[in-house]
Amino acid sequence: MSQIPDSKHMTATLGTRILGSVAVAAVLLMTLLGLVVSPEDLVQGHAVRMLYLHVPSIWIAYAAFVLTAASSVLFLIRSRSRADGGRHHDRLAGSAAEVGVLFAGITLVTGMLWGRVTWGTYWQWDARLTTTVLLFVTYLGYLALRRLPADPIVRGRRSAVMALISFVNVPIVHFSVDWWRTLHQKASLSVGRRPEITGEMYWTLLYSTLTVTVVASWLIVHRYRVIRLEELRDEEALNALIASRLREDDVGN
């Protein structure tokens, strides 16, 4: 009756192995492009290379939080009508949030290092930096909420509401550089605006974004499967306990 695969194949399938191989190769090429092929910046020199990790990381964090919010809405809609309580959407929301928090963290760390070289300081409480750290902290809170002991459906609903509240900050982070005066520069690339980055730097940035997207997708798939395995483990443990008590009752009778 066990649905848990053997330990060698816990979360991997042929598809994820291919995706993982592509991700590793893409990261190697991204490193080569970012550190060797793309040129120094006219003003920032080599410090500009932080761009190729910093900017894609926050874009992927945004995308992951969009996925968390959309999955949370679907979970809230379907949790009453579906036999499994729509837990697929809850798992997807959780796994996307974990990856979003990881990349938001990478954004903060790379931003601090970049800021030290260019601005002359690791940190300033300007609107972009403040809202970004708030985004990171609220989604950490979301992940903590997911760990609270409760009925899975009840916990899923609470988490979904928290995910929607946390998502309000995503557009605030993005537009903070336009709404307020910030030390942080405006968006590097925007829809409908001529890019301020040219040549190899522009293409390296786009390629890095694609690479980070592949890595994030790979991580989300694995995290989703880990969450599912945790659920199966808990269900198996409960089933085993029930079976053992039933046996004891049979012996007693």
Partner 1 sequence: MDLSPRHELGEPDELRRKVHRNRRWAVLAVTALLIAAAAFVTAQGLRNATLFFRNVDEAVEQRLELGDRRFRLQGRVVPSSVRSESGVTTFQIIHGCVVASVRHVADPPELFTSPWIPVVLEGGWTSGQVRTVAGADTHYFLSDRMLVKHTNEYASANDQRISEEPPHDFLDDCPFDVPAAKS
Enumerate binding residues for partner 1 (CB under 8 A): 39-45, 48, 51, 117-121, 124-127, 130-131, 133-134, 137-138, 140-141, 144-145, 147-149, 176, 180-183, 185-188, 196-201, 241-242, 245-246, 249
With respect to partner 1, which residue has the nearer C-beta, 2 or 198?
A: 198
Nearest residue (CB) to partner 1, 109 versus 144: 144
Nearer to partner 1, 42 or 83 (CB): 42
Q: Return the number of other C-beta atoms located less than 10 Å from residue 89's C-beta.
A: 22
- Residue with smaller CB distance to partner 1, 80 or 186: 186
Q: How far is the CB of 66 from partner 1 (least distance, A)?
A: 21
Cβ proximity of 58 and 132 under 8 Å: yes
- Count other C-beta atoms under 10 Å from residue 245's C-beta: 10
62, burial (CB in 10 Å: exposed 0-12, middle 13-18, buried 19+): buried
Shortest Å distance, C-beta 125 to partner 1: 4
Beta-bridge partners for 6: none
User: To the nearest whole angstrom, how small is the minimum distance from the Cβ of residue 77 to partner 1?
Assistant: 26
Task: Give the 3-state secondary structure of residue 118.
Answer: helix
Q: Are 132 and 107 spatial neighbours (Cβ–Cβ below 8 Å)?
A: yes
Shortest distance (Å) from residue 234 CB to partner 1: 14
